[in-house]
């Protein structure tokens, strides 16, 4: 089986690194493409032994499982570009937040009658094989296609199938989650430094504390509330500290964060479905390339381009 | 039904409160010493500032067979033992209001003269009024903050629940009864299942449902911290008062 990545940025790099480290895929069976060869991740991919090309079409041709690892606004251009090369054997996996299966199927159906589409939401810790991934299968993707993806993603962390309407919530929780954790760790380290620890040690200990706590929770049958209680001796240090967290509305802040990320994802999807985005938001090299290879898609430089339709409109 | 009313003798300087006792079939008197003469187990149920005077008064009549149980808030075992004959079996009890409906929460500690037998007797007797546990004396002030005063926190919460319902269109009387039943039912589940409240809470929260939306509001208001503050304030106050 060979895997391709359209896009050679953080996500492609993280997944490629994870798959190869897990041994499920040899590097030479992976192809990644991007018009931008200056990306720092490009040299990383090359060093891994991944085949790098500037041609998205080449990636499609040499892959069975095709990951769309570009930013959400770029997706329609990619689909337009590689659509003609999609064959029945291909499993198209979109990792783009807020991009629905139906929008992808609609776009591809002009080229291929029954495209196999799977929508996936993963997160950056796939890079250390502790990712959290969910996926939802499209209309023409079989159970085996889903299981194939699940096998791949399970090699780099936790992976499970969900209904598509839950994916935005997953984005809010585990998609953005590592960022919340990094913020917390930075602050915990500050606390350690304030109380006299050297920075490096503080970071190391903070990270290990969170890692250990997470591992305990995953391996325990107990409720996190119970595990918390187990750490809080009466009148001790921990319960004093927790009181501070509660006073600051710690729990509520986390709930707010997950909610905000989920709502924003839905907003972006809504914007994508409804409105137009300016071509200035898209890298020039990609735009030129798209113009070259898809003459049917004309883009007026001063006007806005509508996503998910084949025509361009001026606003 | 643990003790027949005729075996209970209560004393008070005036008749003001004694009628109620007589109505239940208990005997009454105006003489504190008589209580010591007629009873083995003696509860000291006066207000704290009155107690030292009462102890002085009954001290001559206290013997090695007596079990003295003080319920005076803030009066330590050390003080009680100082004001009574050496070696007297003294225990200190902190109940809470719902004892009157046999749903109380009580803690007690024993003084140096009281042994396992006395502790067991007290616990067995008081279990008829609710939950009764022996604790180190240092927990008694905490019990005040948690459960002595805690009953008031619950009334406040119940009132607020009902008010919310009234705002949404329910008549007050009905809302109040339902609020009380909700609190009792939830508490009963905690006591009977022994499950962690966090888990019980999770069990009620359907994804995206009404409960989780409401809980978010409570978390935004930092309810947990506020409640912790309340228990802390009451406990600290109990400790301060004990020093006076």
CB proximity A249 to B under 8 Å? yes
Instruction: Tell me whether residue B47 is annotated as binding.
Output: yes
Q: Do B199 and A255 touch (CB under 8 A)?
A: no
pLDDT of residue A294: 53
Q: What is the pLDDT of residues A117-126, one digit of tens each?
A: 999 999 989 9
| pLDDT of A111 strictly over 80 | yes
| pLDDT of A4 strictly over 90 | yes
Per-residue tokens: B154: 């619950």
Instruction: Tell me whether residue A9 is annotated as binding.
Output: yes
Mapped onto helix, strand or coil, the DSSP state of residue A161 is strand
Instruction: Tell me whether residue B242 is annotated as binding.
Output: no
Question: pLDDT band at A295, cuts 50/70/90?
Answer: low
Give the whole-angstrom CA distance, residue B125 versus residue B141.
22
Complex ipTM above 0.90?
A: no
Residue A136, exposed/middle/buried by CB under 10 A (0-12, 13-18, 19+)? buried
What average pLDDT score do residues A101-106 get? 93
Average pLDDT score over chain B: 93
> What one-character-per-residue DSSP string does A86-149 give?
--TT-EEEE--TT--HHHHHHHHHTT-SS-EEEEEE--GGGGGT-EEEEEEE-TT--HHHHHHH
Mapped onto helix, strand or coil, the DSSP state of residue A184 is helix
Read off the DSSP letter of residue A189.
H
Residue with the two structure tokens 């915990």: A188
Smallest CA–CA distance, residue B78 to chain A, in Å, is 23
| pLDDT of A240 strictly over 90 | yes
Which residues on B lie below 8 Å from A225 (Cβ)? Answer: 196-199
Q: Do A247 and B219 touch (CB under 8 A)?
A: no
**Beta pairing, strands A131-137 & A116-121:** antiparallel
Q: Do A225 and B199 touch (CB under 8 A)?
A: yes
| pLDDT of A34 strictly over 50 | yes
Which residues on B lie below 8 Å from A248 (Cβ)? Answer: 222, 225
Question: pLDDT band at A97, cuts 50/70/90?
Answer: confident
| pLDDT of A296 strictly over 60 | no
**pTM across the whole model:** 0.78
Count of Cβ atoms closer than 10 Å to residue A16 Cβ: 28
Residue A235, exposed/middle/buried by CB under 10 A (0-12, 13-18, 19+)? exposed
pLDDT of residue A180: 97
| pLDDT of A275 strictly over 60 | no
Average pLDDT score over chain A: 88
Count of Cβ atoms closer than 10 Å to residue A288 Cβ: 12
Name the residue among A95, A90, A84, A98 with its Cα closest to residue A148.
A90
- Residue ranges and CATH numbers for the domains of chain B are 5-136 (3.40.50.720), 149-241 (1.10.3730.10)
Q: Closest chain B residue to A226 measured between Cα atoms? A: B196
| Helix, strand, coil percentages for chain B (3-state, nearest 5) | 60, 15, 25
CB proximity B197 to A under 8 Å? yes
Which residues on B lie below 8 Å from A247 (Cβ)? Answer: 222, 225, 229
Count of Cβ atoms closer than 10 Å to residue A225 Cβ: 15
Can you give the residue ranges of every domain in chain A?
3-166, 176-257
Which residues on A lie below 8 Å from B197 (Cβ)? Answer: 225
pLDDT of residue B24: 85
Mutating which of B193, B225, B235 best tests the A interface, going by the most A Cβ atoms within 10 A?
A: B225
Question: pLDDT band at A178, cuts 50/70/90?
Answer: very high
Parts of chain B with a pLDDT under 50: none
Q: Do A247 and B222 touch (CB under 8 A)?
A: yes
A3-166 against A176-257: fold identical:
no
Determine phi and psi for A242, rounding to 5 degrees. Answer: -60, -35
Instruction: Tell me whether residue B48 is annotated as binding.
Output: yes
CB proximity A251 to B under 8 Å? yes
Q: Closest chain B residue to A224 measured between Cα atoms? A: B198
CB proximity B13 to A under 8 Å? no
What average pLDDT score do residues A135-162 get? 95
B133 has which bridge partners?
B107
CB A178 within 8 A of CB A124: yes
B190-228 burial code (b ≥16 CB/10 A, e <16)? eeeeeebebeebeeeeeeeeeeeeebeeebeebbbbeeb
Per-residue tokens: A133: 């991934």
Which residues on B lie below 8 Å from A249 (Cβ)? Answer: 219-220, 222, 225
Instruction: Tell me whether residue A274 is annotated as binding.
Output: no
Of all residues in chain A, the percent with pLDDT exceeding 90 is 75
Q: Do B197 and A225 touch (CB under 8 A)?
A: yes
Residue with the two structure tokens 């075996």: B7
pLDDT of residue A201: 96
Q: Do A224 and B222 touch (CB under 8 A)?
A: no
CB B86 within 8 A of CB B120: no
Per-residue tokens: A244: 């501070």
Which residues on A lie below 8 Å from B198 (Cβ)? Answer: 223-226
At the top level of CATH, the class of A176-257 is mainly alpha
- How many residue pairs from chains A and B have C-beta atoms closer than 8 A? 39
Which residues on B lie below 8 Å from A229 (Cβ)? Answer: 196
Element (H, E) at A160: strand A157-161
Q: Closest chain A residue to B226 measured between Cα atoms? A: A247
Can you name the CATH fold of A3-166? Answer: Rossmann fold (3.40.50)
């Amino acid at each position: 089986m060979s895997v391709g990545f359209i896009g050679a940025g953080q996500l492609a790099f993280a997944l490629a690194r994870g798959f190869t480290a897990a041994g499920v895929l040899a590097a030479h069976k992976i192809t990644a493409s991007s018009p931008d060869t200056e990306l720092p991740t490009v040299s990383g991919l090359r060093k891994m032994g991944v085949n790098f090309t500037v041609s998205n079409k080449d990636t499609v041709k040499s892959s069975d499982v095709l990951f769309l690892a570009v930013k959400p606004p770029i997706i329609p251009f990619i689909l337009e570009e590689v659509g003609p090369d999609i064959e029945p054997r291909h499993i198209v996996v979109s990792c783009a937040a807020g991009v629905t299966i139906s929008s992808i199927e609609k776009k591809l159906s002009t080229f291929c009658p029954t495209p196999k589409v799977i929508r996936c939401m993963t997160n950056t810790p796939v890079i250390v094989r502790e990712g959290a991934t969910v996926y939802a299968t499209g209309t023409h993707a079989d159970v085996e296609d889903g299981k194939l993806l699940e096998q791949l993603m399970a090699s780099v962390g936790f992976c499970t199938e969900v209904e598509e309407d839950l994916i935005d919530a997953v984005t809010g929780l585990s998609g953005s989650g590592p960022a919340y954790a990094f913020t917390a760790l930075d602050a915990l380290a500050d606390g350690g430094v304030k109380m006299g620890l050297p920075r490096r040690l503080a970071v190391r200990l903070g990270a290990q504390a969170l890692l250990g706590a997470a591992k305990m929770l995953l391996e325990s049958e107990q409720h996190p509330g119970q595990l918390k209680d187990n750490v809080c001796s009466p009148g001790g240090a921990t319960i004093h500290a927790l009181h501070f967290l509660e006073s600051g509305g710690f729990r509520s802040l986390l709930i707010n964060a997950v909610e905000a990320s989920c709502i924003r994802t839905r907003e972006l999807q809504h914007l994508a479905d409804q409105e137009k985005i300016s071509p200035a938001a898209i890298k020039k090299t990609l735009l030129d390339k798209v113009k070259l290879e898809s003459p049917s898609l004309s883009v007026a430089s001063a006007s806005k381009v509508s996503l998910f339709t084949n025509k361009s409109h001026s606003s | 039904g643990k003790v027949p009313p005729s075996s209970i003798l209560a004393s008070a300087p005036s008749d003001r409160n004694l009628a109620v006792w007589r109505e239940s079939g208990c005997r009454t008197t105006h003489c504190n010493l008589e209580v010591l003469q007629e009873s083995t187990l003696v509860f000291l149920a006066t207000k704290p500032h009155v107690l030292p005077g009462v102890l002085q008064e009954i001290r001559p009549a206290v013997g090695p067979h007596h079990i003295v149980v003080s319920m005076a808030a803030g009066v330590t075992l050390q003080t009680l033992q100082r004001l009574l004959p050496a070696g007297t079996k003294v225990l200190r009890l902190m109940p809470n209001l719902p004892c009157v409906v046999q749903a109380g929460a009580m803690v007690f500690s024993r003084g140096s003269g009281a042994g396992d037998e006395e502790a067991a007797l007290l616990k067995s007797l008081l279990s008829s009024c609710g939950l009764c546990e022996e604790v180190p004396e240092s927990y008694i002030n905490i019990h005040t903050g948690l459960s002595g005063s805690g009953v008031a926190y619950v009334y406040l919460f119940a009132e607020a629940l009902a008010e919310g319902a009234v705002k949404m269109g329910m008549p007050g009387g009905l809302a109040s009864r339902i609020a009380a039943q909700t609190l009792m039912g939830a508490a009963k589940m905690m006591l009977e299942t022994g499950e962690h409240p966090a888990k019980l809470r999770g069990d009620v929260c359907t994804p995206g449902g009404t409960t989780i939306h409401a809980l978010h509001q409570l978390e935004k208001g930092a309810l947990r911290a506020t409640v912790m503050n309340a228990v802390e304030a009451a406990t600290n106050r109990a400790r301060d008062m004990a020093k006076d």
